[in-house]
Structure 1
Amino acid sequence: MASLEDLIPTVNKLQDVMYDAGIDTLDLPVLAVIGSQSSGKSSILETLVGKDFLPRGTGIVTRRPLVLQLNNLASNSPLINEYEEDSERDDIVEDKEPTLEDHLRKTQGYEAQRNDEWGEFLHLPGRRFYDFADIRNEIQNETARIAGKNKGISRIPINLKIYSPRVLNLTLVDLPGITKVPIGEQPADIERQIKNLILEYVAKPNCIILAVSPANVDLVNSESLKLAREVDPHGKRTIGVVTKMDLMDSGTNALDILSGKLYPLKLGFVGVVNRSQQDIQANKSVEEALNNEDAYFIRHPVYRTISTRCGTRYLAKLLNQILMNHIRDKLPDIKARLNTLIGQTEQELQTYGGTGIITKENRASLVLQLMNKFAARFVSSIEGTSSDISTKELCGGARIYYIYHNIFGNSLESINPTENLSTTDIQTAIRNSTGPRPSLFVPELAFDLLVKPQIHLLLGPSERCVELVYEELMKICHNCGSPELARYPKLQSKLIEVVSELLRERLGPTRSYVESLIDIHRAYINTNHPNFLSATDAMADIVDARKRRRTRGPQTMDLEHAKKVLNNDASKKEASSSSPVPESENIGGSESSSEDDEKDPSKQSKDSFLNYFFGKEQQRSHQMNGLKDAYSMSANQPQTNDLPDFENFRIQEASQPTDDHQPQLTEREELECELIRRLIVSYFGIVREMIQDQIPKAVMCLLVNFSKEIIQNRLVTKLYKESLFEDLLMEDQNLAQDRQKCVKLLETYTEASNIIGDIL
């Protein structure tokens, strides 16, 4: 551990390093001087320095924070002559005309008096101000340059270093004086501006507050103490300074204040006597003013008992000791903070690709590495193994699954297979499929003609499914970038371009295959499918539904009635006559058989005439002749009036849409239309189930999996070329600037850490 005397210069070095880097992330220990206007702040600072160097006047004089570093200089310090050598060398090299300052500085008398005391501004590196009047002028000019020539303020500080053998090591910040009422050209919200600026400094835990209050104002009205209490309510890091002790009313004193009885502060109060305006105009030296101040306290009847703890000389020693102890306590925390900042900055630098040095030899490996990472991120996003999976929305493979089983599935389920088919459309198809002859049976061709366009309804949702998966793959492609890849925007753009081209290539074959699947199902209508509803079952269901609806009325309808309706309608259309047929050969069979059929509806369904046409092939041959005979017989049977009234009979479901303008259908035609409709629904459901299973499989095979397997080879084939490396690895200018800032920041933190490490 270095000596205490080295601590303040160490913090000053840290401040210089932070200032040069333009950053303020370290809460360095500092003394902040606050007080109302004309409270004596400037006089205290000038007395501490021993020189008149601060601007004076009415209103706001200090309009920018002044960071003042006081550096004690040994009489034999090499810094004293170092500037002489540098300036002479600069004169020779640049052959510039010497200034009046240079001329005076080189005279023997000027050197003897001035060469061991000077000031330096950080915004003017390498230049020394031996004349402190020039320092005052530079403070005024620099204030006007940033804050303007009006009475506005600025938070950008002015950094001034004072080197002298007659100062103690201190670092103070002189802040604008607190004001309550705008005067002259001052902004209307000047009070708020100044308060916010002061709080930026005094609110930091490592700041020691030097609260200046004039003795001729009641302490309870001290603006500086009020502001200090806001950020330091327990008074642990506040030093009270009572100025103008000699201007108190006769018979009064500040002994209770200085003793801490009236307003307790852990660091206490110090009373000082400022130089009066008359002393300044009379050019009374600071040294003489300090002697008069000491004499005042020694001779004062009340203050002489505490005279050793009063005055500016004591204040300087106290501040020096407090600041050193404060720095000693805070340096370990600052060191830990620096280590944290170094680690964070190193991580940030890695996101920019490290230091940014790319040699010609490692360009190929870098391009290949970035390609592989891009391809791996693409595959992992689909498979759900990515390390940065979103928790806010579905993406990647999960989104593709959602498309298959929710969006696509719901789209298929929402299709009504007969919504666009009216009864007229069905009847027209039946009539067109029979040609010029009247039909004896429901033609199978009509079913084929009607069901094929309905199967085509599945094409739209299937194509949309392909498009949605393609769009999701494109989205995955665009999200496969990384901070390291963002460093090379051209490479990232080319990677996305190549993968997008691959996906577009696969979109066409996938879509074509999907269209082929629909065409395949339309090409052959397999009515022999085991899940297809047979005509007899459909007819039985129609009759059962009719029976359930007719339970509310006196009349009932069964399969036998439906057969009679169809037979009677067919007999009207038959032009030829046939010989009488025995009654036992009628479709209904014998009376006993008819009674048995009425008792067994399932047997009725099997014996219905529709089973001859839509039933299995092996049943058709031996039943067809009987069906024709039945029709011939029924054509010659006399019509009776004991048949049920079919005037109000309608087979179609209640939910079936009707067309008020369609022509009136016969009972046979209504049965035929309803039967065709039910068969279409049954067959469409079979095809829909197969399409819902086959389309996702086709998309996965032809688009998703194919892209996953070939992406890496495609990237290497297209982009891994020596002639493209230089262009692909061209950095983004903004990112390069950010990386340079990060490098500079890391260097600054490392240098600051080394400075602290030298004394810990």
Structure 2
Amino acid sequence: MNDLIPVVNKLQDVFNTIGSETVDLPQIIVVGSQSSGKSSVLENLVQRDFLPRGSGIVTRRPLVLQLVNVQDSEDSKAVEYGEFLHMSDRKFTDFSEIRKEIEAETARVAGQNKGISRSPIHLKIYSPKVLNLTLVDLPGLTKIPIGDQPTDIEKQTRILVLDYITKPNSIILAVSPANVDLVNSESLKLAKQVDPEGKRTIGVLTKLDLMDAGTNALDVLTGRVIPLKLGFIGVVNRSQQDIIGNKPMSEALKAESEFFKRHSAYRSIASRCGTPFLAKILNHILMNHIRERLPDMKARINALISQTTQELLSYGDPALDEKTNKGALVLKLITKFSNDFVASIDGTALDISTKELCGGARIYYIFNNIFGTALQSISPCGNLSVQDIRTAIRNSTGPRPSLFVPEIAFDLLVKPQILLLEQPSLRCVELVHEELTKICHSCGNQELGRYPRLHAKLIEVVSDLLRERLSPTSLYVESLISIQRAYVNTNHPDFIGGAGAMSDLVKKSEKKRKEFEKLNRHRQANLGSNTTHISTLSGPSISSKDDIPDGSPLSDKESSGSKDIGLQNGIGNNSSWAQRESFLTYFFGSGNKSDRTVLPDQPLPSRNGTSVKTGIDMGELEKKLDNGAIIDDAVQLTDHEEMEIQLIRSLITSYFNLVRKTIQDLVPKAIMHLLVNYSRESVQNRLVSELYKEELFVDLLQEDENLASKRQNCKTMLDVYRKAFDIMNEAM
């Protein structure tokens, strides 16, 4: 068992080389408030003055103190000395130099002010006067900042202490002065917080000689006040006067022993008090604790070896060593990248996401949802007003009136509508190109991530390939639209044609006529027997407009309504047109309205034979003609024009729909052939031809510096864990 503490010290040394805290080593953590006598207890254990002293916080960094017992040999006496981890090549035989080095090293890391640091100082002391122990001296607990201390010094210190004593393998050495009520002991409060049952806490009472006369700490030392499984031990340190007078440590220990033997309260427990007994108890407790925890520590280190080995394998071997076939490695990585690219498009990748669309599924979504919806949202005649259509019809007939819907007007109007399909089609090409670029950037496994230059070159070459295919694909899609505009095939079997359009208009007009007659009969029935009826089949004999009874089918509102229905459906019903003709014949005289041209400012015959001016100035119309406004919006459409416009709209809608269906089918096919399939089929050859060159291998296989550093650190950690495992195997 005496070899167990040296085993832990060896483990401590091994882990100190990497600064790792992954393994919780058994050690004694010394906790106490400022001026509680914590430093004096440690010096008594070592029997040397070696710790800095002064006001405020003196210990500002954790001090990991390993006490190593060395025996005198037959030929010579053992030499006492100390070694620092940060100065392992030097032995300090003068313990005052050790104190100075602790102060200098503290200031180097923690600064000259009174702030603290988490970085520990590692010190080994070899002496025949010590027992094997591993202790950690922590900064003293404080309440109020003093001098240059940070305002949150209390919080910093508590967090640091808790980090150490929370570890289950630590033994808590709670130092408390006997001349202060234990209820106020900060060290015991923190110990109880992390060890509520007191299983790994040992209490130390200092300054027993400074208690008020007539008082003692016997109840505390015997465990009747605060129960601790490891108990309380009382010690008497040197006084401040003894320290100033450089009282020898041997005399101080002798005086301590005499104090307990002579004190009436402590005489019965004198053998269980004092620094020598404390050292023995700590040595015994630590050895037993190590013996209990060693199997768990061994299992923990074994698990760390396995984890670190797997991590090291994930980093792979360095690519630029002499054994590596660089050409084969480059070809392997190129093939893996191109296979990942193709698999992402085809949907055969192993790591397919279940949270969102990716790869080829996004291309399908672009074709069917985005592109399809964009085409369907285009209205065949949405941007064509009545005046646009009427102007096109008139311009296509020249000075002659049209007997039928002019084919030139239809051709003139439908081509710009077909051009509306071009922009969404080109945008579809761009979206697919962008998606392929995203797929390219997402390709590559962890092994390829080791070589950032090769990865960047692979992405660059594939991006160039996609960029090359973008232009011909876009040009071909543009040509698809141009082809449709180049020849308007009115003989297409799916095209409605003039006869079909006229038939549809007649059917719609007939339907509207029946609806109007039904509505008219219903209204006449509601008017009652006193209402004068005007026949819907022949014109009435009316002397003036005022003679038209209110509510008759030819009142202003109803006449207007009848005309609206006619406008919407191309041809009005026969009854309404008969009413209009009889009224127009009465107002303008005999003749067909549609066969007569009336100038806007021409006097119209009134009912009594006098001329009636229209109120429109011919000069104003000439100005509009000069400005290019050939057709006045205020001029009403003739019946023939209404029919022509409705026919033109019907024809445009029919032809646009069949062109849209064709484009919706051809554009995705063109993109797949010219861009997607071409890229996936040629990506491997392009990558090999561009990158498989011997002069590029060294540059392409330059590893990521961070990854190389991680691999080296991982190797170091693995060596440390294996060495620690061997040490524990020897101990067990």
TM-score scaled by structure 1? 0.78
Distance 1:444 1:196, change over 3 A: same
Which runs of structure 2 are paired with 1:400-479 in the superposition (5 Å)? 400-435=363-398, 437-479=400-442
Identify the match of residue 670 of structure 2 among 689, 698, 701: 698
Distance 2:692 2:396 in 1: 64
* Correspondence for 1:366: 329
Distance 1:381 1:641 in 2: 72
2:263 matches 1:300: yes
**Letter in structure 1 aligned against 2:80:** E
* Correspondence for 1:661: 633
Distance 1:208 1:426, change over 3 A: same
Identify the match of residue 33 of structure 2 among 29, 32, 36: 36
Q: Give the match's secondary structure for 1:116.
A: coil
Instruction: Kindly state the Cα deviation for residue 428 of structure 1 after the two structures are TM-superposed.
Output: 2.9
Distance 1:360 1:728 in 2: 17
* Correspondence for 2:534: none
Instruction: Kindly state the Cα deviation for residue 50 of structure 1 after the two structures are TM-superposed.
Output: 1.5
Q: Give the match's secondary structure for 2:2.
A: helix
Q: Deviation per CA, 1:466-495, whole angstroms, max 9, x where unpaired?
A: 100001111111121333223222211211
**Letter in structure 1 aligned against 2:16:** Y
**Letter in structure 2 aligned against 1:727:** D
Identify the match of residue 660 of structure 2 among 677, 682, 688: 688
* Correspondence for 1:239: 202
Which runs of structure 2 are paired with 1:195-206 in the superposition (5 Å)? 195-206=158-169
2:200 matches 1:260: no
Instruction: Kindly state the Cα deviation for residue 383 of structure 1 after the two structures are TM-superposed.
Output: 2.2
Distance 2:3 2:706 in 1: 41
* Correspondence for 1:580: none
Distance 1:752 1:463 in 2: 66
Distance 1:214 1:556 in 2: 110
Residues 405, 647 of structure 2: 8 Å contact kept: no
Distance 1:670 1:341 in 2: 89
* Correspondence for 2:64: 67
Distance 1:350 1:551 in 2: 86
Distance 1:27 1:360, change over 3 A: closer
Distance 1:550 1:334, change over 3 A: farther
Which runs of structure 2 are paired with 1:233-632 in the superposition (5 Å)? 233-355=196-318, 358-359=321-322, 361-435=324-398, 437-546=400-509, 553=516
**Letter in structure 1 aligned against 2:352:** I
Q: Deviation per CA, 1:155-197, whole angstroms, max 9, x where unpaired?
A: 1111100111221111101111111122222222221221122
2:711 matches 1:739: yes
* Correspondence for 1:45: 42
Instruction: Kindly state the Cα deviation for residue 297 of structure 1 after the two structures are TM-superposed.
Output: 2.4
Residues 547, 556 of structure 1: 8 Å contact kept: no
What is the number of equivalent residue pairs in this alignment? 630
Q: Deviation per CA, 1:704-747, whole angstroms, max 9, x where unpaired?
A: 12211111111111111111111211233333333323332332
Distance 2:303 2:669 in 1: 52
Q: Give the match's secondary structure for 1:209.
A: strand
Distance 2:27 2:501 in 1: 96
* Correspondence for 2:84: 121
2:168 matches 1:171: no
Distance 1:347 1:195 in 2: 37
Residues 71, 161 of structure 1: 8 Å contact kept: yes
Distance 1:327 1:537 in 2: 100
Q: Give the match's secondary structure for 1:128.
A: strand
Instruction: Kindly state the Cα deviation for residue 463 of structure 1 after the two structures are TM-superposed.
Output: 0.7
Instruction: Kindly state the Cα deviation for residue 303 of structure 1 after the two structures are TM-superposed.
Output: 2.3
Distance 2:273 2:320 in 1: 61
Instruction: Kindly state the Cα deviation for residue 423 of structure 1 after the two structures are TM-superposed.
Output: 2.0
Instruction: Kindly state the Cα deviation for residue 429 of structure 1 after the two structures are TM-superposed.
Output: 2.7
Residues 253, 302 of structure 1: 8 Å contact kept: yes
Query: What RMSD in Å do the two structures reach over aligned CA positions?
Result: 2.7
Identify the match of residue 104 of structure 2 among 107, 132, 141: 141
Distance 1:744 1:181 in 2: 43
Instruction: Kindly state the Cα deviation for residue 255 of structure 1 after the two structures are TM-superposed.
Output: 1.9
* Correspondence for 1:708: 680
Q: Deviation per CA, 1:288-331, whole angstroms, max 9, x where unpaired?
A: 32233233323333323323322211111111121122222222
* Correspondence for 2:584: none
* Correspondence for 1:95: none
Distance 2:675 2:17 in 1: 57
**Letter in structure 1 aligned against 2:728:** I
Q: Give the match's secondary structure for 2:134.
A: strand
Q: Deviation per CA, 1:218-247, whole angstroms, max 9, x where unpaired?
A: 111111111212222222221111112222
Instruction: Quote the sequence identity (%).
Output: 64
**Letter in structure 2 aligned against 1:677:** R
Distance 1:345 1:685 in 2: 66
TM-score scaled by structure 2? 0.81
Structure 2 gap ranges (5+): 521-569, 571-588, 595-630
* Correspondence for 1:15: 12
Runs of 4+ off more than 6 Å: 638-643
Q: Give the match's secondary structure for 2:233.
A: strand
Distance 1:415 1:305, change over 3 A: same
Instruction: Kindly state the Cα deviation for residue 553 of structure 1 after the two structures are TM-superposed.
Output: 5.0
Distance 1:378 1:642 in 2: 72
Residues 298, 728 of structure 2: 8 Å contact kept: yes
Distance 1:673 1:354 in 2: 78
Instruction: Kindly state the Cα deviation for residue 528 of structure 1 after the two structures are TM-superposed.
Output: 3.6
